[in-house]
Amino acid sequence: MNHYTRNWLNALCRQINGISRAVVFLETSENGKYTPSALFPEGLTDYQELVDVAKTALSEGKDIVLPKKDAGVNTGEPQDLIACPLFLKKKLYGVVVLQVTRRIPVKHQAIILFIQDSTVWLEAFLKEQGSGDNQQLVTLLELVASCLEHEHVQEAATDVVSELSDRLSCERASIGFLRGRSVKVVAVSHSAGFDQKSNLIRDIGEAMHEAMDQGCAISYPQSDDAVLVTRCHATLLDLYGIGASLTVPFVSHGKVSGAVLIERGTDDLFDQATREHLEHIVSIVGPVLEVRLRDEQWLPIRIAHACKHLMARILGPGHLALKFSLLSLCLVAATLFFVFGEFRVATNARLEALIQRVVVAPQDGYIAQTTVRAGDIIHSGDVLATLDDKDLNLENRRWSSQLEQLQTEYRDALAKHDRSRVSIVSARIRQAEAQLNLVNEKRARTRLTAPFDGLVVSGDLSQSLGSPVQRGQVLFTVAPLDAYRVMLKVDERDVGKVLKGQHGNLVLSGMPRQAFRFTVDKITPVSIAEEGRNFFQVEAKIEESSDLLRPGMEGVAKIDIDQRRLIWIVSHRFVNWLRMRFWAFWP
């Protein structure tokens, strides 16, 4: 009892990092008290604080976690004490106490769960303790512990068959695993290394294969009336002077995957009890070693086994969901590889007027009034705004009165036949008339009118009444409503595929249900850097118009390139990215 509990505690402490001390207290049958059954490390004497924690856990009947009183004094790290009661059929029969490096509560809970899971074998042993037949269970549990405590499966298998050979009084014990159509002997008792190509190892493997093919244990010479093929076992005994052999196969994942063969040098046959005991051990130890052996295989071999298992599920009965998913995946792959689709280059697009006319201030002045602003629809000749003409009216009156005076002087000079004065006054009259015409022209220009039917794209003077303007200052921008162009921003990765004359479709954000056909007209060979990427501007002509179109509307345009395979359309960007990365890092 103490021997197995010690092995169990040692295995537990190796699985949990940071354990400095541990004690297992079990109930004694004599007086009902709890006494130490196993210590870690062995020879531990100072564990009074662990005893106090164990008493608390036993009295409360639940897991507890307490900080160590002198935590960090000797080790330099804070320590915690974890006590986990052990139950059998809901009855308390012991407690395990661990001193571990301080962790967060979640880590403590994980340690407690691990302890509860690992006490299965300890509980199984205690169930059989009162029957007087516990030695077999002790053997089983110790062999399982041997399977788990070694780092490599070769060492674990050798340790298991060596201990099995000693406990069953055998000269040799071997374990092998089915690999393909043959059996590979992995370990032989009391032998760290052996030649896989030797005749003995080959014959042992054949005998194991014989039992595995028939799916049952073979004891030779046979001690019962069972009709089994024992040719390989007979050959093994005859060639190597073996008195008796017993081969027990084991099952993993529903299939026979290996076998254990034990040999005796005398004619002492294996009785039924020994056979059943070995079958019970092998049924548990064998699958454990099989799992460890698979975990240590090379990655390509593990991948091959996974693929083989997957193919068995696909081609075998059942697994309808997997088969349906695989069939769907094959259909999708076939569609991508064999179906052609229209390859399009998607770009951001902006709608602009084909022509734009600006209305500027014809002269210096002040804003008198305005009737439109950006977004208004106008017609040819509509007044957009007027400039203040008070100064021009005064100027007009001044030149008009001066012209009347000159005309009076001119008539007076004609009456007196003063030719020189007539010539001078005549010139001054022409000058006054020119000035008067200039003033009238400026007065006419104070009315700013629309050059054609269209939309006021920009300009709002409603908040600037009375403010001065200078000659040539832009006041309004007007665009027609029946002539548009589409400005596309094509990524530099796709601009090489775009050619003049290609067609496409434009969907605007404000009109998502209607697509407008366009034709590529011009590719600008100048890049624009935006958002860390380079774009080229491509100009296209829209082939149809609508009363709902307005300059400045934005959307997404797709340029039709040609017909290509769907797999290329889906993956070409990623493939090109891989090529660039390969080119960048290749020496």
pLDDT digits (tens, 9 = 90+) for 72-90: 545 567 888 889 888 776 7
For position 139, what pLDDT does the model report?
65
Distance CA 192, CA 197 (A): 16
For position 407, what pLDDT does the model report?
87
User: Each residue of 137-170: b (16+ CB within 10 Å) or e?
Assistant: bbbbbbbbbbbeeeeebbebbbbbbbbbbebbeb
For position 56, what pLDDT does the model report?
87
Distance CA 544, CA 514 (A): 11
Is cis: bond before 36, omega within 30 of 0? no
Residue 123 CB coordination number (10 Å): 14
Distance CA 314, CA 60 (A): 54
Quick: pLDDT tens for 419-437.
888 888 888 888 888 888 8
Residue 41, judged by CB atoms within 10 A of its CB (0-12, 13-18, 19+), counts as exposed
Residue 545 CB coordination number (10 Å): 12
For position 252, what pLDDT does the model report?
82
DSSP 8-state code for residue 28: -
**532 SS3 class:** coil
For position 226, what pLDDT does the model report?
67
Q: Please check whether residue 382 is in contact with residue 450, taking contact to mean a CB–CB distance below 8 angstroms.
A: yes
Q: Which residue has the tokens 């050059």?
A: 451
Q: Residues near 274 by Cβ (< 8 Å), separated by ≥ 6?
A: 168, 246
Name the strand (E) or helix (H) holding 50.
helix 48-60
Which segments of 356-512 does DSSP mark as H helices, in order? 390-415, 419-445
**85 SS3 class:** strand
For position 126, what pLDDT does the model report?
54
Distance CA 429, CA 421 (A): 12
Torsion angle (degrees, nearest 10) of CA 410, 412, 418, 422: 0
Distance CA 193, CA 171 (A): 17
DSSP 8-state code for residue 366: E
Angle formed by the axes of helices 135-149 and 153-167, to 10°?
Answer: 160
Length of the chain: 587
Residue 82, judged by CB atoms within 10 A of its CB (0-12, 13-18, 19+), counts as buried
For each of the domains in the chain, give its residue range(s) and CATH number, in order of start: 1-132 (3.30.450.40), 133-296 (3.30.450.40), 301-338 (no CATH), 357-478 (2.40.50.100), 483-585 (2.40.30.170)
User: Each residue of 439-455: b (16+ CB within 10 Å) or e?
Assistant: beebeeebebebbeebb
For position 131, what pLDDT does the model report?
45
Q: What is the residue-averaged pLDDT of the chain?
A: 83
For position 204, what pLDDT does the model report?
92
Quick: pLDDT tens for 325-366.
889 999 999 999 999 999 999 999 998 887 777 888 888 888
For position 176, what pLDDT does the model report?
92
Q: How many CA atoms lie within 13 A of 340 on its CB side?
A: 5
SS (H, E, C) 207-274: HHHHHHHHCCCEEECCCCCCCCCCHHHHHHHHHHCCCEEEEEEEEECCEEEEEEEEEECCCCCCCHHH
Residue 327, judged by CB atoms within 10 A of its CB (0-12, 13-18, 19+), counts as exposed
Q: What is the DSSP string of 312-337?
A: HHHHSS--HHHHHHHHHHHHHHHHHH
Are β-strands 383-387 and 484-491 bridged in parallel, bridged antiparallel, or unpaired? Answer: unpaired
- Stretches in the chain below the pLDDT threshold 70: 1-4, 29-32, 70-76, 89, 120-141, 223-226, 267
DSSP 8-state code for residue 66: E
Query: Between the CA of residue 25 and those of 36, 86, 368, what are the distances in Å?
Result: 4, 9, 104
Query: Of 230, 262, 227, which is closest to residue 247 (Cα–Cα)?
Result: 262
For position 506, what pLDDT does the model report?
93
Q: Residues near 440 by Cβ (< 8 Å), separated by ≥ 6?
A: 396
User: Each residue of 391-402: b (16+ CB within 10 Å) or e?
Assistant: ebeebbeebeeb
